[in-house]
Structure 1
Amino acid sequence: MNDEFCGIASDFARIDFVRPTITVRDLIHQRVRLELARIEAQRKIGSYTVTRTAEEEQRNAGCRRSSLAEAMLGDECAAPDAAYGQRQRRVAEQAFEQGRFYVLLDNRQAEDLDQVIDLTSVRQATFLLLTPLRGG
């Protein structure tokens, strides 16, 4: 899985599934798990921020970043535990159902949390966050 921001891709993580089919819900749960692990790792080294540095801002030609992690996980900043992970999975499911982010499977939009994904035929899953324009 990789993240792309303003057309610049960066490696994020690889997810290997044991079963040949999963649901969109399963995929979102795995993404939440990865986001929580990334946030926790950044907290441990003291580098977790939601904002971007001036260098990142300049490199991306002023694109504003609305973090997919923020859309999926909400604003809660409590220390992670099992209950926290369950709450964040529910928040991510609700965000998907409310259209706060989309899941594209080989460039086709996933419509439902219970939609089955055949991993033998789907090669790419994209989490897409649309950012509303200001002033318009």
Structure 2
Amino acid sequence: MKKFLIAAALGATLIGAPAFAQAAPQRGAAMLDRLDTNHDGVITKDEFNADVAARFAKLDTDKDGKVSQAEREAGRPGGGGGMGMRGMTGDMTLADMQAQAAKRFDRIDANHDGKIDQAERDAILARMGNRQAPPPADAN
């Protein structure tokens, strides 16, 4: 009976793993589509920065020019407030968020041409999927 329960638990884990691995890239694709405000298939630094400013304005509910830990937690279920803000403590200014966003943009913009094209979008989504995927069965 014990072996059956262990096998059943392992089987359930393996069945759910592909769905879990697909969730992050799907959310990432939706986010990238949202960032491409003119829908030309390319995300410019201006589009990326406009999204940061809009997220900051939404999170800064008391309009004091800072986003506190409490505002971040209130702004998103599970805390964090969005891309790049999980694990942050203390207040963040718009400049802080823009600096983090610039690093993310530069990491995604592999050819450093100032825009994120379809190939770069595909590459980041693939990395997101690989990061979420379970390790191969023979990894032990």
TM range (shorter): 0.3 to 0.5
Higher helix share: 2
Q: Give TM-score scaled by structure 1 length.
A: 0.38
Higher strand share: 1
